Amino acid sequence: MTAPQAAPSHPATVVILDFGAQYAQLIARRVREASAFSVILPHDTPWEAIAQYEPSALILTGGPESTLTVDAPAVDERIWAAQLPIFGICYGMQLMARDLGGRLVASAHREYGPAMLHLQNESPLFIDVQNDSRVWMSHGDTVEKPPPGFVALASTERCAVAAIADAKRRFYGVQFHPEVVHSEYGAQMLQNFLRHIAQIAADWQMETFVETAVAQIREQIGDGKVLCALSGGVDSAVAATLVARAIGDRLTCIFVDNGLLREGEAESVLAAFRDVLHLNVVHVDARARFLERLAGISDPEEKRIRIGHEFIAIFDEEAAKLTGVDFLVQGTLYPDVIESKTAGSKAGHKIKSHHNVGGLPANMRLRLVEPLRTLFKDEVREVGRVLGLPEHIVARQPFPGPGLAVRVLGPVDETRLATLRAADAIVTAEIEAAELSPRPWQYFAVLTPVRTVGVMGDGRTYADVIAVRAITSEDGMTADWARLPHALLEKISLRIVNEVAGVNRVVYDITSKPPATVEWE
């Protein structure tokens, strides 16, 4: 085993080469959870481009293809001679075996699901890993004979070679997916690879990130002036605070109150930015303008488009009032910038562009400052805490750019917004007071365009229906409806029909995503 490397000037970087894996981002997160920095690159990135990161280790992901096909996704073969520790996962292990002279066989049927991992040989990969623990399999081909210099480390009932290693070259491969939670000791094995095999110190910490980011922002901006659109969301808040830490009052933030925020939200966002963080904030009260643009519009897409356009128009107007602005801060996150995730990608694929606050104008001719572009959402929250942002901003639930306009189904007006705000405040307060563990990922009220008959006192009512939505999710891409306790649902329902005028019925949304979406519009 080689000696630990000398401390580099940047945190040790693990380069993850992506073969179109469903779980590439999950691998990157696990690496970061083990306090090592990671970047995901397309599998076919040329060695020169990989080397620019000065990686301390490489991880090859799984992927949907077979290494046995003629044009199977491959790597720049110079990685094998780079004397770096390499960890191949599923397809990554098969490729390692194929490229280095092992033998693979195509299986008639895929193995998918749990299996028990039987350890056959001692290895640093298995430090603190129990024998016969559960791992998660998802593969077609298998390694029949490891390449010269490799030994088989473990097996499962249906897979004779489930892990391989060439300890001398520090090449390791596993057929299962250590990154998913269903692999009991998966995170431990990844950590073992990083710590005990690649000898990477746990030095990826948010304090270090903040220091480095502040220095980089200063360098990028020089003595220029910067503009930032605050949405009240965690990403723009953290990005703005970081930039302010670097350049002080040469940052101007614009907060557009579109009148589509939740109860008390505009006030608390402003108070936090002005009074707690002492940011230089221009407050634009555009409530009337947005309502005008939305009057009578019930088509969801049309609402979104109008809100986006109005936002850009207002932002442009405000930006034009400031002189000498050179840069625009955006709270772009790492998942938004990861290059192509598809197998067969060519390096240099278009980067997905993302605009955080209602789709900021791409043609503003301002240079972008994106200090969060290497971070995942939970890391951004962590940075926010290090920077001293209030918890109500750091832990804020995701909130759609078009705000409550997509939760008031049908036409939006002041009265319907007020109804929704009142109901939403009850849903939020009750779910938070219930101190559920885990708390649902997102929870809110929706004002439906339906009216139903009810009886209140002795009289007939014909009034609005509020829907309650509470979901569990990792990232909003898929979601399940939260199994809220019946007593909590009862309390929410009782309070809404008693306290919110014009509502006589409450329903609970029990649909997952897919097939539904999180928001109703």
Q: 171 vs 290, which CB is nearer to ligand XMP?
A: 290
Query: Smallest distance, Å, CB 326 to ligand XMP?
Result: 26
Query: Smallest distance, Å, CB 239 to ligand XMP?
Result: 14
Please indicate whether residue 211 is annotated as part of the active site: no
Rounded distance between C-alpha atoms, residue 368 and residue 389, angstroms:
23
Catalytic residue chosen out of the listed positions 65, 179, 370, 519:
179
Catalytic residue chosen out of the listed positions 43, 65, 90, 228:
90
Rounded distance between C-alpha atoms, residue 98 and residue 521, angstroms:
48
Please indicate whether residue 228 is annotated as part of the active site: no
Q: Does 518 bind ligand XMP (CB under 6 A)?
A: yes
Rounded distance between C-alpha atoms, residue 140 and residue 105, angstroms:
9
Query: Smallest distance, Å, CB 517 to ligand XMP?
Result: 3
Concatenated DSSP letters of 164-226: EEETTTTEEEESS-TTSTTSTTHHHHHHHIIIIIS---S---HHHHHHHHHHHHHHHHTT-EE
Q: Are 491 and 460 in contact (CB under 8 A)?
A: no
Supply angle C-alpha 424, 429, 435, rounded to 5: 135
The residues in 397-426 that bind ligand XMP, with binding defined as CB under 6 A, are 398, 400-402
Q: 76 vs 336, which CB is nearer to ligand XMP?
A: 336
Q: 390 vs 398, which CB is nearer to ligand XMP?
A: 398
Rounded distance between C-alpha atoms, residue 171 and residue 98, angstroms:
13
Residue 233 tokens read as: 């969301």
49: which residues sit within 8 A by CB, 6+ positions away? 41, 347
The closest of 272, 294, 290, 291 to 281, measured between CA atoms, is 272
Q: Does 192 bind ligand XMP (CB under 6 A)?
A: no
The residues in 476-515 that bind ligand XMP, with binding defined as CB under 6 A, are 476, 513
Q: 88 vs 402, which CB is nearer to ligand XMP?
A: 402
Identify each DSSP E strand in 212-352 by its residue range: 225-230, 251-257, 281-285, 325-329
Catalytic residue chosen out of the listed positions 65, 177, 318, 370:
177
Q: 398 vs 411, which CB is nearer to ligand XMP?
A: 398
Query: Smallest distance, Å, CB 160 to ligand XMP?
Result: 42
Residue 392 tokens read as: 């109500």
| Residue span 432-471 as binding mask against ligand XMP, x where in contact by CB under 6 A, dash where not | ----------x-----------------------------
Stretch that binds ligand XMP, among 33-41, 112-120, 333-341, 395-403 (CB under 6 A): 395-403
Query: Smallest distance, Å, CB 470 to ligand XMP?
Result: 12
Identify each DSSP E strand in 296-402 by its residue range: 325-329, 367-369
The residues in 131-170 that bind ligand XMP, with binding defined as CB under 6 A, are none
40: which residues sit within 8 A by CB, 6+ positions away? 16, 18, 24, 25, 27, 28, 338, 339
Q: Does 517 bind ligand XMP (CB under 6 A)?
A: yes
Instruction: Return residues touching ligand XMP (CB under 6 A).
Output: 398, 400-402, 442, 476, 513, 517-519
Residues noted as catalytic: 90, 177, 179
